[in-house]
Amino acid sequence: MVRRVDDGLTRRLGGPARKRVILVLAAVLALNGANSGAIGAMAVQLERSLRIDNTGLGLLVTASSLAGAAVSIPIGVLADRFNRRWLLLGGLTIWTLSVATSAFAGSFTMLVLSQLAIGSAAATAGPTVASLTGDFFSAGERGSIYGYILTGELVGAGFGIVVAGDLGAALGWRSGLFLLGLAGAGLTWLVFRNLPEPLRGGSERLPATMPGDAIDTVDGAGRASISDDSALASSDVQLAEEATRQGFVATANDQLPPHPERLGIFAATRYILGVRTNILLILASSIGYFFFAGVRTFSVLFISRRFGLPQAVTTLLVPLVGVGAIAGILAAGRISDWLIRRGRVDARIVVAAVSYFVAVVLFIPALLTTSLAIGLPLVILAGAAIGAPNPPLDAARLDVMPARLWGRAEAVRTAVRTLLESAAPLLFGYLSVELGGDSTTIGSSVNPSGAHVHQPALSNNHAHGLELAFLIMLIPLAFSGFLVWRARLHYPGDLLAAAAIDQAA
């Protein structure tokens, strides 16, 4: 059975070499999701042990995200200039040590400091994965490829919620974090053994070959050994040619020198933020991640309190939302690529915008219902809709950026995204406390005599406060859909401008 599943996955991904690279890149993105998912799933244990409320819980995730935002731009520069494989290995090593160390934190302050280190190390993932994806896979299939890679974020969150969260509930939150450290050590070894460093510019793209292995060896420098093959013919120019055939004209741009990899950090950032499609997509996707970060952090608390479920049951239900999001991610990537092959140049933009609007429509009744039988299917469908925009948007951002700026462009997006993500758990937690009218911590409180008094584990006020917080945050989520729709006006021209710069390089 396992062998049949593995063979089917190998065929679907285009061969053993492509499967190895895609799965490793997906696993890299899983790390930060696993940490945030575990923090959310162990909320009850953390709040009781450290005597904090939802605001303090949100601060833990916020600290990690803020640290990632602070270092993402320098990491993007490194990703465009140096070996990305070794950059990833360094980040994974620091992440693993930081997570393992956090399991022994003696105070809330020490746990926050460890989250700062975790976020800084996790920031290596975004720029390096984006740059490697662009060099390994051609433009016409990047939507589908990104769909597979981005499932790692949700699988990681599910691992953090179910495995680390349940272990934390049974043996304490320290054991859950220590398990994440062990997972990080295993992933570091997998990257070292299975991820090559391709040449920049697409000359070592992985062809879809079955059977066969497009990467025969990985030498001591981590370079891929790929034979010249007609299957390596890139579809990058085909998308640009279709845009030209339909009458679109390249956006005028004379800001970029012949060797963009040599640009200083400020000049590169100025150019990246000057591409209209790019800035609109950065803002839209960052808002989407902002909403998802809040939901990911407080979903276990909300569901358990709204429906009166034990934590062990809730941590088994929440990953169903992740399954829905994975389905949306995989479907959207394939649909957008399918539409592009049929001449719809702006397919990635349209699919993403529609998905955001559908997510808002589905979340409203899902949050208002008091019936688990009605609410759970709606939340799963909403999860699919909120996950769907990410593969086409990630692929579209590569389309409108010159290849030698991919690392820094993704770093800019990572900085904006993590800034918003860092604010989400803290803001969601603060709003839930203020709107719920109940700021007590879970598990115990102190009466005037100083004695601890047990509080109900499930609070209707907390559930109502989280419900209102989620509903309010649907407003910026809807705005992200309008931003993507607006990007339709600029995408073809920016796509042609990036293609012209790459061809001149």
pLDDT given for residue 173 in this prediction:
77
| Cis peptide, bond prior to residue 211, ω within 30 of zero | yes
* Residue 260 scores a pLDDT above 80: no
Work out the average pLDDT over 218-229. 39
Work out the average pLDDT over 374-383. 88
Rama region for 373: left / alpha / beta (φ>0; ψ in -120 to 50; rest): alpha
Architecture, CATH, for domain 2-197+234-243+250-504? Up-down Bundle (1.20)
pLDDT bin (cut points 50, 70, 90) of residue 282 is: very high
Work out the average pLDDT over 417-438. 76
Tokens of 211: 């059977």
pLDDT bin (cut points 50, 70, 90) of residue 316 is: confident
pLDDT given for residue 142 in this prediction:
84
Lowest-confidence pick of 107-111, 149-153, 378-382: 107-111
Lowest-confidence pick of 251-260, 273-282, 305-314, 427-436: 251-260
More confident residue, 179 or 277: 277
Q: pLDDT tens digits, residue range 14-60?
A: 778 888 888 899 888 887 678 777 776 776 777 777 777 767 777 77
pLDDT bin (cut points 50, 70, 90) of residue 2 is: low
Q: pLDDT tens digits, residue range 74-90?
A: 888 888 888 899 999 99
pLDDT given for residue 309 in this prediction:
78
* Residue 344 scores a pLDDT above 80: yes
Range ranked top by mean pLDDT from 21-35, 62-76, 379-393: 379-393
pLDDT given for residue 294 in this prediction:
83
pLDDT bin (cut points 50, 70, 90) of residue 283 is: very high
What is the average pLDDT score of the chain? Answer: 78
pLDDT bin (cut points 50, 70, 90) of residue 474 is: very high
Work out the average pLDDT over 304-309. 78
Q: pLDDT tens digits, residue range 151-189?
A: 888 788 777 767 766 776 677 778 878 888 888 899 999
The C-alpha atoms of residue 183 and residue 35 are separated, in whole angstroms, by 11
The C-alpha atoms of residue 255 and residue 299 are separated, in whole angstroms, by 45
pLDDT given for residue 218 in this prediction:
41
Give CA separation, 157 vs 247, 401, 426, in Å.
Answer: 43, 29, 18
Per DSSP, what are the bridge partners of residue 254? none
Per DSSP, what are the bridge partners of residue 453? 445
Q: Which residues of 253-289 are buried (b: 16+ CB within 10 A; e: fewer)?
A: beebeeebbebeeeebbebbeebbbbbbbbbbbbbbb
Backbone angles phi, psi at 259, to 5 degrees: -120, 80
More confident residue, 202 or 351: 351
Work out the average pLDDT over 346-366. 93
Q: Which residues of 456-477 are buried (b: 16+ CB within 10 A; e: fewer)?
A: eebbebbbbbbbbbbeebbeeb
Q: pLDDT tens digits, residue range 239-251?
A: 777 788 888 888 8
* Residue 7 scores a pLDDT above 90: no
Work out the average pLDDT over 59-65. 75
Amino acid at site 24: V
pLDDT given for residue 78 in this prediction:
87
pLDDT given for residue 174 in this prediction:
81
pLDDT given for residue 450 in this prediction:
37
* Residue 350 scores a pLDDT above 90: yes
* Residue 301 scores a pLDDT above 70: yes
* pTM of the full structure: 0.76
The C-alpha atoms of residue 90 and residue 88 are separated, in whole angstroms, by 5
Residues 6+ apart with CB under 8 A from 15: 206, 207, 208, 209, 210, 211, 212, 213, 214
pLDDT given for residue 438 in this prediction:
44
pLDDT given for residue 328 in this prediction:
92
Q: pLDDT tens digits, residue range 437-464?
A: 544 443 333 343 333 333 334 445 556 7
pLDDT given for residue 114 in this prediction:
84
